Amino acid sequence: VTKALTPDIGDLKADTRMSRLIVTDTPEALREIAELIRALDARPREVLIEAKMIQIVLRDIFSMGVDWESVFSSQSKFKGLGLIGDFPILPIPSRAIKMTVGELATDNYTATIEALREFGNTKLISSPRLITLSGKEALFMVGKREAYATTTVTQTEAAATTAESIQFVDVGITLRVTPVINEERFIVMKIEPEISDVIRWETTAQGNRVPIVQTSNAQTNVMVKDGVTIVIAGLIKDEIEDTSVGVPVLSQIPLIGGLFRYAT
């Protein structure tokens, strides 16, 4: 605004208490400054984002993942499903199965769930709704915070002091979405899905256990109309669970306890 003032004539004062600008200038300059202030003082536009995070526990025959092309193809047995467009992914996932991002042809959530049940047990793990400003990031997170201790040793001339602090690392499913409403009222969305998990724990020289986190992520940009459903699919997490079943008391006896229990 100050650049629009007439040199040696115009003056600008800010009234922070009343959130006002007091401008003194020529009538022509005041009109230009008023137009500029109206443009800058426009109410920011908001975007409502609703996400449904669906988890599939795949059957053994689908261990490589869901064949999304067959699910959404025109020849699919699941009627009413299909993708309009196939948006590029950066980086290309190293998994054998290709990640799929596209616009759902029809907003048929029930049909999508029924289709996914062909591949394994399907579960809706979260259905959040967020409102964010145009150009501001919205964050969806489903997971947990793993805590671990770190030790800092400070050496002085007199002695060494040891301080321990607790750190946290977030693991689970993260979805970052940055929407921007353009002049044609289309919504340009930067989408960054990520899945992470603690694969093991390591012990440091100080005896602290720290988590080793495995992360898979991708990034894409889409442009859609208001009310359109976007599908993001293909993030895979491998899990191995050890289960021990045994006879109470007898399975805990040293040396012979193994005869009364088995692991799966």
> Mapping DSSP to helix (H, G, I), strand (E, B) and coil, where does residue 61 land?
helix
Task: Give ∠ CA 110-196-144 in degrees, rounded to 5.
Answer: 85
Q: Do 119 and 171 reside in the same domain of the chain?
A: yes
Per the structure, the complete domain to which residue 64 belongs is given by 46-245
Residue 209 belongs to some domain of the structure: yes
Q: Do 25 and 56 reside in the same domain of the chain?
A: no
pTM tops 0.95: no
Q: Give the Cα separation of 205 and 202 in Å (integer).
A: 10
Q: Do 109 and 135 reside in the same domain of the chain?
A: yes
Q: Do 76 and 105 reside in the same domain of the chain?
A: yes
Residue 64 belongs to some domain of the structure: yes
Of all residues in the chain, the percent with pLDDT exceeding 70 is: 67
Cα–Cα separations (whole angstroms), residue 132 to 28, 48, 232, 243, 254: 38, 7, 20, 44, 59
Phi, psi of 186 (to 5 degrees): -80, 155
Cα–Cα separations (whole angstroms), residue 172 to 66, 96, 123, 221: 20, 21, 15, 22
Amino acid 107: pLDDT: 59
Amino acid 133: pLDDT: 92
Task: Find which of 43-57, 84-98, 127-141 is predicted with most confidence, using mean pLDDT.
Answer: 127-141
Q: Do 36 and 61 reside in the same domain of the chain?
A: no
How many independent structural domains does the chain possess? 2
Q: Do 29 and 136 reside in the same domain of the chain?
A: no
Pairing of strands 100-104, 230-233: antiparallel
> Mapping DSSP to helix (H, G, I), strand (E, B) and coil, where does residue 206 land?
coil
Q: Do 222 and 136 reside in the same domain of the chain?
A: yes
Q: Do 100 and 33 reside in the same domain of the chain?
A: no
pLDDT in tens, 113-127: 777 777 778 888 888
